[in-house]
Amino acid sequence: MRSRIAADYASCLDWKVASRPFPGQRTSGDLHLVEEWAHGALVVVVDGVGHGEEAAIAARRATETLRAHCHDPLVALVGRCHRAMFGTRGAVMSVARFDAGRSRMSWLGVGNVEGVLLRATGAKVWCDSLLRRAGTLGQGSELPSLELSVVAVSLEKQLILATDGIRPDFVPDLKLGATPEHLADGILAEYARDTDDGLVLVARYRGTP
């Protein structure tokens, strides 16, 4: 699944998402959003609490808010999502914004949506892990204390976001060079749990078009 790309600019990302609902159900509470513009993109994975339609309602509330305000500063954007999900089960999420003009990525997470940035140093492959704050958006009046991290990105670095329906032991097996499609499909096939919805999104940085 790919996002819409306007005719007057090229994407700074190649990306792929792979997902499946809780076994036996048709609706997943794990959703994603990729919004792209000239020299930038917003990449998000949202996991509604639990699974099924009630979880999906919370996650959809978040993605609708994210789409409508995608250019807001990330901390403010997460705050908007928190308020928009009042009255729902709530959700956890990890968000990242690519700034191709400055070759950097800003990211933050609330809850247990895994985030890693895959990079290489010589022959070695390393993963930078997203610092995530404990908590659930949409629950309680106060947001958890949020910390935005900014990292440099270069060509071919790959961002991977995965819900807790994906076992976290996929991280040590990651290899640089695989396509986003191969990575996303492979992680889902091998590491998805049978007790929850599962979603993994892989975005490879292409730089300034």
pLDDT value, residue 123: 57
Identify whether 4 is part of a domain. no
Domain that holds residue 193: 13-205
The whole model's pTM is what?
0.91
List pLDDT tens digits, range 110-124: 999 999 998 765 556
Contact 135, 144 (CB under 8 A): yes
Identify whether 122 is part of a domain. yes
Q: Is the pLDDT of residue 2 over 70?
A: no
Identify whether 1 is part of a domain. no
Identify whether 6 is part of a domain. no
Total number of domains constituting the chain: 1
Beta bridge partners of 42: 35, 97
CATH code of the domain in which 196 resides = 3.60.40.10
Q: What are phi and psi of 11, to 5 degrees?
A: -70, 145
Q: How many CA atoms lie within 13 A of 175 on its CB side?
A: 7
Q: Is the pLDDT of residue 38 over 60?
A: yes
Tokens of 11: 């994407």
Q: Among candidates 153, 200, 171, 155, which has minimal Cα distance to 1? A: 200
* Lowest-pLDDT choice from 14-18, 91-95, 128-132: 128-132
**Residue 209 binned pLDDT confidence (cut-offs 50, 70, 90):** low
Q: Phi-psi bin for 31: left (phi > 0), alpha (psi -120 to 50), beta?
A: beta
SS3 159: strand
Identify whether 97 is part of a domain. yes
Identify whether 142 is part of a domain. yes
Residue type, 4: R
pLDDT value, residue 106: 97
pLDDT value, residue 121: 56
Contact 177, 160 (CB under 8 A): no
pLDDT value, residue 5: 40
Mean per-residue pLDDT for 41-58? Answer: 96
Q: Quick one: CA torsion of 142, 49, 42, 127, rounded to 10 degrees?
A: 100
Identify whether 113 is part of a domain. yes
Mean per-residue pLDDT for 197-206? Answer: 96
